[in-house]
A = this chain, B = another copy of it.
């Protein structure tokens, strides 16, 4: 239930109301919508409780909803979430670029790429140690060794780390990783989502390749319902009849989700297109329609990459892209 508060109430009064509702056992939070101050409850308030708290004095109107607002919903928070990623913020105006190879292949490779993408302005380093592969006989990643190499790259570059976790039994091994990625195939792996709801670390939740916006948000809700409210959404393309590209990148998801949720949203144009030549234009488009960040595959020698080499930029191309992104972001700041 949402309570529309009277105009003229001070911030202290509003917060006192929240505390008093909590004292009566409600989940309660302040929010805003279309210029109105709202007090969002997790269930309908009884008229008795409203009276007890002196309702007519501060209450403009009631908005009864069938369901309580979900934690992912814009209504629940009323402002964009800002999430700290190992010292770097994302969301609410803060933009981050995550870059690195599809797979960690060697110590030298990941350190070199880390240094290159840092020099170009990337905020976080990504690299796959455990890889979800369609065939059981494909390269499955270096595993623990890959994570060790990532840690060395972190030490040498100072960049926080992003890596995909496929199995919650591996959680201990990911201690040094700053942002845990859930891949598209696991978006509805509820056992994993529930386990990540208990973790004190932000989660990067990729969209399943045939999942609706609603289902995507409900998967984020699985994590948030468990207590971990630091979720970042990542659009990575959906599956359509078009075979020219690996996936069909659905950039409309950015403004749609902006209306539905307070969570930050980033875009992965590398998996979203599957072709290096398409990464720059789609990265720019993602920034232009309001994404909070990008995740981009960079490899020092794309032709020899052990996985997904076709979609990786080399460090020079990544550097040129970063220049354009900075220019575009500066231009967009003038719009507000």
Instruction: Please tell me if the beta carbons of A288 and B278 are within 8 angstroms of each other in the complex.
Output: no
- Residue A218 lies at the interface, judged by CB distance under 8 Å to chain B: yes
Give A255 to B277 CA distance when docked, in angstroms. Answer: 8
How far does the alpha carbon of A324 sit from the alpha carbon of B331 in the complex, in Å? 9
Q: Are B191 and A167 in contact (CB under 8 A)?
A: yes
A242: contacting residue among B133, B250, B254, CB under 8 A: B250
Q: How far is the CA of A287 from the CA of B331 in the complex (A)?
A: 14
Give the complex CA separation of A254 and B277 in angstroms: 12
Top-5 shortest CB links A-B: A210-B210, A288-B288, A185-B188, A281-B289, A285-B289
Most B C-beta atoms less than 10 A away, residue of A222, A240, A287, A334: A240
Contacts of A19 in B (CB 8 A): none
Given the known A-B contacts A135-B218, A286-B285, A331-B328, are A248 and B240 also in contact in the complex, defined by CB atoms under 8 Å?
yes
Q: Give Cα distance in the complex from A242 to B250, angstroms.
A: 10
A166 CA / B191 CA spacing, docked (Å) = 7
The residue in chain B whose Cβ has the minimal distance to the Cβ of A331 is: B331
Interfacial residues of chain A within 152-175, with CB under 8 A of chain B in the complex: 166-167, 169
Per-residue interface assignment for chain A, residues 203 to 225, with 1 indicating a CB less than 8 Å from any chain B CB and 0 otherwise = 00000111011110010011001
Q: Which A127-167 residues have C-beta < 8 A from chain B? A: 132-137, 166-167
In angstroms, Cα B134 to Cα A213, docked, is 12
Asked whether B225 lies within 8 Å of A254 as measured between CB atoms, the reply is no
A244 within 8 A of B: yes
Complex alpha-carbon distance, A330 and B132, angstroms: 43
A248 and B241 alpha carbons, distance in the complex (Å): 11
Contact A254 B240 (CB under 8 A): no
With contacts A135-B218, A282-B255 taken as known, whether A241 is within 8 angstroms of B244 at the C-beta atoms is: no
Q: Is A243 an interface residue (CB 8 A)?
A: yes
Task: For A247, give the chain B residue with the smallest CB separation.
Answer: B252
Q: Apart from A136-B225, A210-B241, A249-B252, what are 4 other A-B pairs with CB-CB below 8 Å? A: A136-B190, A239-B241, A242-B250, A331-B331
Looking at A167, A192, A221, A225, which has the most chain B CB atoms within 10 Å of its CB?
A167
Q: Is A273 an interface residue (CB 8 A)?
A: yes
Is A311's CB within 8 Å of the partner chain B? no
Q: Check if A313 is an interface residue, CB within 8 A of chain B.
A: no
A180 within 8 Å of B (CB atoms):
no
B136 engages A221 (CB within 8 Å)? yes
A251-B251, A278-B256 are contacts. A288–B290 as well, Cβ < 8 Å?
Answer: no
Please tell me if the beta carbons of A132 and B190 are within 8 angstroms of each other in the complex.
yes
Q: Mark A222-237, 1 if CB is under 8 A from B, else 0.
A: 1001000000000000
Q: Determine the residue in chain B with the shortest Cβ distance to A140.
A: B190
Please, which residues of chain B bring their CB within 8 A of the CB of A186?
Answer: 188-189
Q: Does A238 contact B (CB under 8 A)?
A: yes
